[in-house]
Amino acid sequence: MDIVKFLTDPMTIAGFLAAGACFATVMTLAGPLLAEDRLGARLKEVAKRREELRKRSRADLARGAGGLQHKDANQFAKGLVDRFNLQKALADDTLSEKLIRAGLRGHAAQTMFYFYRAALPIGFGIAGLFYVTMMAPHLQLPMKLMVVVGAAAAGFYAPNIYLKNLAEKRRSKIMEAFPDSLDMMLICVESGMSIEMALQRVGQEIAPASVELAEEFALTTAELSYLPERRMAYENLARRTNHPGVKAVAMALTQAEKYGTPVGQALRVMAKENRELRLSEAEKKAASLPPKLTVPMIVFFLPVLFAVIIGPALIQVSQMMGNR
């Protein structure tokens, strides 16, 4: 009875309430100091991941691809370029853009390009001079000069033609797998992945089919992590590929980031448009096939057809004329 009376005493209840209020006040004030700094840990993890992606992207940029670029530029070629200052003499403002679109990155690619740009005209000119001197001495002097000058001009423009063809082949390989990659990216985004994780995952899956596209996705993932604006990463992807389909996707992703529209919906529309674009390009190639076959048919098929049709008649006519 004493315990019940003690617990029901107004002074006891007031003391318990006061003690509870003091405890809640202390916990409220000391809670933030005792709580684990999850935000700081998360920011540290993001910074660590960003640094890893930055190092990986720099390694990819330094390694680059084959073709004109080597792991290290040829020392002989580098020495000639530096000695004669060919980078200034043969300066091309669009060279970096051309090399990036061809998949060649780094200073080594530029060094080798300038070396070939200077060496090939000399080599082709010497080859043309050897031809007109040793193999075609009967040609007149204007023709000889034309052959030598034409060979030197071909050597001068050969590196640009090679870069253009390499960029077109790379772009065609990228666009062969790009619509399928958008479908996979749509699945990843709708499953809850961020756009960075979706690009990384799709790049790993698409690598056996298109190494070039996987490389572009890896670079875009790295740029999304350390560039000051995400828009720049999408613009760089469109600039490197130089295709209207990729440019449309980059613009859609930029607008989704800016206005907060659903990324999945934009990817679904872009995937459909890129599939239709790939189909239209295939139809265009099929439609251009008959005109391309006209000349081979005239040159190779029609003479044989005329010989088969007219040959027996000519033989009979010759035999009749012989009997007379």
Q: What does the pLDDT average to over 48-58?
A: 63
Give the pLDDT band of residue 45 (cuts 50, 70, 90).
Answer: low
At residue 165, the pLDDT reads 93
At residue 71, the pLDDT reads 45
Cα dihedral angle (122, 126, 127, 132), rounded to 10 degrees? Answer: 140
Higher pLDDT, 153 or 270: 153
Distance CA 288, CA 155 (A): 31
Q: What is the pLDDT of residues 274-291, one digit of tens each?
A: 888 878 888 888 888 888
**CB atoms inside a 10 Å sphere around CB 280:** 10
Q: What does the pLDDT average to over 309-313?
A: 86
Helix (H) or strand (E) run with residue 210 in it: none
User: Is 66's pLDDT higher than 70?
Assistant: no
Give the pLDDT band of residue 59 (cuts 50, 70, 90).
Answer: low
At residue 70, the pLDDT reads 40
At residue 53, the pLDDT reads 61
At residue 218, the pLDDT reads 87
User: Is 250's pLDDT higher than 80?
Assistant: yes
Q: What is the pLDDT of residues 137-174, one digit of tens each?
A: 888 888 889 989 999 999 889 988 999 999 899 888 88
Q: What does the pLDDT average to over 34-50?
A: 56
Around 194, how many Cα atoms within 13 Å sit in the side-chain half-sphere? Answer: 6
User: Is 67's pLDDT higher than 50?
Assistant: no
Distance CA 205, CA 60 (A): 18
